[in-house]
Structure 1
Amino acid sequence: MRHRFSSITEDLLQLHEAMRKRWPGLLRVAIALYDEQKEMLHTFIKSSPDTGLLNHYSIKLQEVPSLVKLAESGEARLIQDLEILKDHHTVHSDAIAEHFKSSYTEPFYMAEKLLGFIFYDADEVGYFDDDLLEQIQNYSRLIESLIVSEMLPVKALIGMIDTAKELTNLRDSETGKHLIRVARFTEIIALQIADKYDLSDEIIEYMYHYAPLHDIGKIAIPDNILLKPGPLEDAEYDIMKTHVDEGLKMVDRMVNHFSFQQIHHLQMLKDIIGDHHEHYDGAGYPKGKKGNEISLVGRITAVADVFDALTSDRIYRKAMPVDEVIAYMKAQKGKQFDSECVDALLVNLDTVLEIIDKFKE
């Protein structure tokens, strides 16, 4: 029998529903992922009666010593009375102590590296008896397997593309740090507009992972065009524009050859690749889409990519001063760019500038 691929959030909701049939007081199951590069812990997926609780929340792992201890030891933590968290004074501890009475937390890993934590929260003090704890440990192994199986194909796809770039000696201005910055800017924009567009933490997580793959089709562009130190002639520019379709073909080949059809949000990756050179007014390429015909993630990535490109040195020009880039982005609102996406980036300018400074070439 064939089954459709459900999202990890749908899987978690089903698991939680099954658990609550026996333990109705188990009100919340949540997963937070750890980003080693940023040293940040951030919300990923959750099943909770309060859908607004700790949405889009992140914190430096080192600011939560109790979780650092769990990560280092690999052991679980049981708190039968959450009153003790009220002295910790973090957003997370205050929210949990306000809404729940007891909790159980486990760290989980991939290839011996911390991947994140699973949190179980109940509405009664002392709710976690031996029977529930035994079952939770079984559910935790299942949840860990779901998340690892979700992440491995994504990481494998990204690794394959990175390897292809190395093997083809791809050498253009899109350095590793450029890709990091584009991913960060994409995340900033997505978080800023998340409530309006109902973007879950799971969706934003995939945007963050997929944004650096926006220009993978450049592997297919000849070096004499890709690395040309001056302006491209019309015929050369036409060839350069084919990198969008080449990128889409590359994804399709990898999906088919390596049976990656189960990768969730694969259409998101295709939208990033296919739409990030479209212009809001319809003057972009490859299809001349306009306005909301362009996917939201494509509109977001376009702003992130161009802002970073203009503030970075490229083989054919020097970086523009930040104030000039800001003026350009504002002038292109409603033309090249979605106005909301530009505003979402610029309202977080201090964070954007910190990222530029941290990931300098």
Structure 2
Amino acid sequence: MHNKLFKLFLPISVFTFSLFLLMNLGLIDLLRSSKLAFGLLISGFFTIGTIVFIMLSELKRFKYLNKRYEKILRFISNIEPTIDLKFFMDKVFDFALELTATRFGTICISTNDGNWEFISMKGYNKEFLKDIHFEEECFEHLKCENSEIKVIEDILQSSRIPKHIRKIIKSELKDTPKKSILGIFRHGKEVLGFITIDYMKEKVDFSSETLELLKLLLKISALFISAKKDYERRMIFQKEVIRSMIRIIELKDKYTKGHSERVANISVKIAKRLGLSAEDVDMVHWVGIIHDIGKVGIPDEILNKAMKLTKEEYEIVKKHPTLGEQVINQMSYLKDLAPIVRHHHEKWDGTGYPDGLKGKEIPLLSRILAVADAFDAMTSDRSYRKALSIEEALNEIKKNSGIQFDPEIVDAFLDVLSIYEEENLV
């Protein structure tokens, strides 16, 4: 805009100066000098006005771009692999549409099973588009693109979209895009997805700054998608490793089969009743799963002994929380759970083990685990005794509230006990 005005104002300024100069040629010195001065003044105003206007326009444009950069930088600084993929891509989409001044577009990414699907869309029927899935071969051509961004006229006529998909989309849309920006999410040689930014009109201009910012968003998004996929694959692998280790423990101690899963379920119910955060609920679930992992270091003949343990044998069993802590500390992704596992046999009155912690010195999630663990242990058969009834176990929990267990945790447990019975969890 300012370039066009500059081209308009500059010739006017030069013309004004020249006109007044010619008007003065041949006139008396006084008149010539006064009119010349007037001409210089008028042309000067035009010239200075043009320069000031351009400077103000540039300043406004700089501030606008700077604000956009700041928003993107703030967004980048909070990125981590635990963020939900759809939430992240919706944010990226909002930035992209704001940059390009349109309200139509789609984002499609490759899934872990090798197919492609729309995960975000603006201006279109979401229910319609989300049901469209593509096979990987449909987008082989994207791997050959030598640029992250392409401006495409009438994208639905483009060979870049499979013919049968174009036909379906055209049948559903009242208006079809006249011009689109196709952006590719690429990490190394791997194409992870694409974004289309669509315009329903043909005459659209894109500034170089807009396209550069869009490229930046594409690179950030590609890095995130790649990291997210790696993170999810790693988490699936790690969880399977944990479950395999628990199965080994259950093979060693046949009486504890299913114990870890039940303790995890009960602990989650208690945590939710207490109104803990989603992060803490997830945490207590995994602590429930792995709380007895230290038993892998306890001899089988002690774990499965049919008679009461000797004092020496009991001291060996009491080592399993610290052994569990040591095992968990070897797994970087589980280190936050190590202290909770260490202290799940502490008692409210300070007579527990391994450190004799008392009251709220004991981590909250360990206190939750203590109630869930004790209840499931009492209501399960053991090598040295038969299971107690739910009523008998419940009386023991109540009797030890304020002694072995945190009274607040016991109250929460009692509140949800009926739910466990209804869902057949105990």
- Whether these two folds match at TM > 0.5 is yes
Decide whether aligned partners of structure 1 residues 147 and 320 sit closer, same or farther in structure 2, where only a CA change above 3 A counts.
Answer: farther
Higher helix proportion (structure 1 or 2): 2
Per-residue deviation, 1:155: 3.9
Q: TM-score, length-normalised on structure 1?
A: 0.58
Task: Return the match for 2:252 from 152, 170, 179.
Answer: 170
Per-residue deviation, 1:346: 1.5
Query: Is 1:186 matched up with 2:267?
Result: yes
The unaligned stretches of length 5 or more in structure 1 are 27-72, 86-102, 109-128, 256-260
Q: Which residue identity does 2:391 align to in structure 1?
A: D
Decide whether aligned partners of structure 1 residues 300 and 321 sit closer, same or farther in structure 2, where only a CA change above 3 A counts.
Answer: same
Alpha-carbon contact 1:77-1:104 (below 8 Å) kept: no
Cα deviation code 1:132-188 (max 9, x no counterpart): 99379979877665555444444433433443455674224221x222211111110
Query: Is 1:298 matched up with 2:366?
Result: yes
Per-residue deviation, 1:6: 5.2
Alpha-carbon contact 2:344-2:370 (below 8 Å) kept: yes
In structure 2, what is the equivalent of residue 314 of structure 1? 382
Q: Which structure 2 residues correspond to residues 45-194 of structure 1 after superposition, within 5 A? A: 134=195, 148-164=229-245, 169-175=251-257, 177-194=258-275
SS at 1:277 equivalent? coil
Alpha-carbon contact 1:279-1:336 (below 8 Å) kept: yes
Decide whether aligned partners of structure 1 residues 354 and 141 sit closer, same or farther in structure 2, where only a CA change above 3 A counts.
Answer: farther
Task: Return the match for 1:285 from 345, 353, 377.
Answer: 353
Per-residue deviation, 1:106: 9.1
In structure 2, what is the equivalent of residue 223 of structure 1? 300
CA RMSD of aligned residues (A): 4.3
Cα deviation code 1:175-213 (max 9, x no counterpart): 1x222211111110111112xxxx332332232233210
Q: 2:415, 2:292 → 1: CA distance?
A: 26
Q: 1:210, 1:152 → 2: CA distance?
A: 21
In structure 1, what is the equivalent of residue 410 of structure 2? 342
Alpha-carbon contact 1:244-1:274 (below 8 Å) kept: yes
Q: TM-score, length-normalised on structure 2?
A: 0.50
Decide whether aligned partners of structure 1 residues 213 and 5 sit closer, same or farther in structure 2, where only a CA change above 3 A counts.
Answer: farther
Q: 1:347, 1:291 → 2: CA distance?
A: 21
Decide whether aligned partners of structure 1 residues 134 and 290 sit closer, same or farther in structure 2, where only a CA change above 3 A counts.
Answer: same
The unaligned stretches of length 5 or more in structure 2 are 1-76, 104-115, 134-176, 184-193, 198-216
Q: 2:131, 2:357 → 1: CA distance?
A: 46
Q: 1:317, 1:351 → 2: CA distance?
A: 27
Decide whether aligned partners of structure 1 residues 233 and 23 sit closer, same or farther in structure 2, where only a CA change above 3 A counts.
Answer: farther
Per-residue deviation, 1:8: 2.0
Decide whether aligned partners of structure 1 residues 232 and 14 sit closer, same or farther in structure 2, where only a CA change above 3 A counts.
Answer: same
Cα deviation code 1:66-119 (max 9, x no counterpart): xxxxxxx9665869699x99xxxxxxxxxxxxxxxxx997999xxxxxxxxxxx
Identity %: 31
In structure 2, what is the equivalent of residue 252 of structure 1? 329
